[in-house]
Structure 1
């Protein structure tokens, strides 16, 4: 689960996803048992694929102790919102799992937050104790007991369940060295990587706040003056769409041919250097047309997916200043490509950020809901492949301007067709839309392997064991605008 945006409220817009039991042990004969609070605390980043921050997390256990679904929700800033947040995450996880035909037997709860100025980790544990109790109460009300509740803060953990000081001391227990546990070894064996925090993931798609942002804003102003009238004019809209897709194809090729660099930040800096301000501005404005954006979504698989995802991230970083709302289009494309290629974590975050930029962006709404409900993206891919056949977007890298017809009701990528592909009620297709705001006069703006094992020893060892199989990669599951109009696609 992910919040739509930290700016849209602490939890009201959150959606929760139920996960799937992991398939197969690490080897045919060696499942891994997690028996203690320390092992459960160490397992959390591997269960989610990232280090949660400022989060409450619920992890369900199925029959025979296998891990099931996971749900995460940001901790509301005000404790008056905690009861509703605890109810939302508990109901989302438990009822969502039941709708999918699984029944959680038990739950492990986590609250994770770093100390505020002047606080210690123990202060955080005491302050969040009422929230942990609310999680236990809400899950218990759904007939699923919480067998362990942990607070993780300041590289230590505390159990709200274990009363034995020799096992769970008041000052907390230091977390183990990263990468040294059995869980870490199992995840490494399975190819699972913990990718840092959500903050680091979001930073790859957040607008620049450097001196270069002003230059990009100037380029967006100039592009807006030149392109917006053409996009809003039916006679020239098709020509602008062709120019946008042709430019995007050339830059995707440029990204694909660039020499690789190591490290996430250096890679993003390299991509930023490969993309000119004027090019970025033309693409950002051109993608505000829904038909153009839908055509661009066809770069979704094979060798073209990775450089396309890099381009959409780079464009999201260029939506600076008053153009931040324009990021909904590239962020939605980034979320779609990530989901299409099996990266559900980045997909959810990118789509949540798109909805933070524009809560009414329909394409992002549909994809976010479908991803969270565990649908298969192949239904969307089929629509895009059908649209792509017979058009000059060969290999995803156009050599000439494609001609894009007006989008009509029943066309492969209309909102109604997307809704049908996602098994949702049909929505009225819309022509290219305008945004609420006109451009300025100067321009527009898990994996815990848990297996059954001996009960072990120690005060915490007699609790029910959480057992999982080998961690496996996430399985893929399953707007719009032309520069601003009253209707959103």
Structure 2
């Protein structure tokens, strides 16, 4: 079984478990269920959800009802594999229940795996020779898949908190400096505002292009430059130009994560949404969802972030989102 867009190969349950953190971008915590969808043994999609604490039938049915449509929206799915993380009493009843929902929808379930501490139990195999009742020992650091994934440039952060830390707000003296820089930049931009919308858009376009160019060259923007950029991004037209200028590259993810970290709190929605969209285009759904949530935390009515979050929850590909939101972005004048 192969990864999308890589030459890594999964040959065993241990390989599959080793692959999960690289598919998600972080290591799932206990209480997680991961759905891995494949097309004729090629992995094409992975999604993670939290299991209800006590796994009652009704809540499991609700969970399955949310997961199945997400997977069905992916193209050319031939089967799925489910991996649950936690204790036997929590995971063992949940995996078959969710698996039955996929089977009932017409999607075969090939494997049910439980990961408890450093052991893997295959719930779909009753052969004690290859699947002992107490599970198989598992060391993710010794997996060939982990070595190959790292060599291929794939990253698996320790947990979701480590993902969120990539764009967490700066604090202390750095935050105070950005506050002062934003106040000063707002005063300077008042002069440009009087020249009209077209001039502001030109200034914004130049600021975005120049910032991305300098980041590529390894330069670090000053607080004054970040402040000016984030103020300009308040304009929908400038933000949409930034969407067009930004490419699905890791360096652009890093750039927008830095701008989101340093932006004044009120100015976070635009760069956080740009981070979310760029991460999604790069295949990092976890970072995309968290960044969109960060934008909506500051401004619950921020339309582009809300649309992006809905698309992520529905399992839509970035191409479909861009097609359906192009008109919305071009007509928007309030975000």
For Structure 1 versus Structure 2, the TM-score category normalised by the shorter chain is: 0.7 to 0.9
Q: Please, which of 53, 57, 60 is the counterpart of residue 34 of structure 2?
A: 57
Q: Does 1:422 align with 2:329?
A: no
SS of 2:102's partner is helix
Match of 2:162 among 183, 200, 205: 200
**Greater helix content:** 2
- 2:242 corresponds to which of 290, 296, 302: 296
Aligned to 1:148: 111
Distance 1:230 1:137, change over 3 A: farther
- Matched with 2:65 is 87
Q: What does the per-residue CA deviation read over 1:60-95, in whole Å, with 9 as the maximum and x for residues that have no partner?
A: 3444x44443322244568564431222112321x2
**Partner in structure 2 of residue 257 of structure 1:** 217
Residue 132 of structure 2: aligned partner: 168
Look up the SS of the partner of 1:178 in the other structure: helix
Cα deviation for residue 187 of structure 1 reads: 4.4
Q: Do residues 40 (structure 1) and 16 (structure 2) align? A: yes
Report the 3-state secondary structure (helix = DSSP H, G, I; strand = E; otherwise coil) of the residue aligned with 1:128. helix
Q: Deviations over 1:91-125 (max 9, x none)?
A: 321x214xx3x242x42111236xxxxxxxxxx34
User: What does residue 317 of structure 2 align with?
Assistant: 374
Q: 1:307 to 1:238 in 2, by over 3 A?
A: farther
Residues 33 and 246 of structure 1, relative CA distance in 2, 3 Å threshold: closer
1:150 partner SS: strand
C-alpha displacement of 1:253: 4.1
Q: Secondary structure at the match of 1:139?
A: helix
Q: For 1:239 and 1:68, how far apart are their aligned partners in 2? A: 45
Task: Check conservation: 1:46, 1:192, Cα contact below 8 A.
Answer: no
Instruction: Determine the structure 1 residue equivalent to 2:261.
Output: 317
Which segments of 5 or more consecutive residues in structure 1 lack a partner in the other structure? 1-19, 27-31, 114-123, 259-270, 378-418, 434-479, 481-489
Which has the higher relative contact order, 1 or 2, with Cα contacts under 8 A spaced 6 or more apart? 1
The 5 A counterparts of 1:392-411 are none
Unpaired runs of 5+ residues, structure 2, are none
Cα distance in 1 for residues equivalent to 2:69 and 2:331: 35
CA RMSD of aligned residues (A): 4.1
* Mapped partners of 2:92, 2:19: distance in 1: 21
Is the Cα–Cα contact under 8 Å of residues 352 and 368 in structure 1 kept in the other structure? yes
Query: Partners in 2 of 1:216 and 1:370 — Cα distance?
Result: 32
Structure 1 pair 306–73 and aligned structure 2 pair: CA distance change class (3 A): closer
- How many residue pairs match? The answer is 326
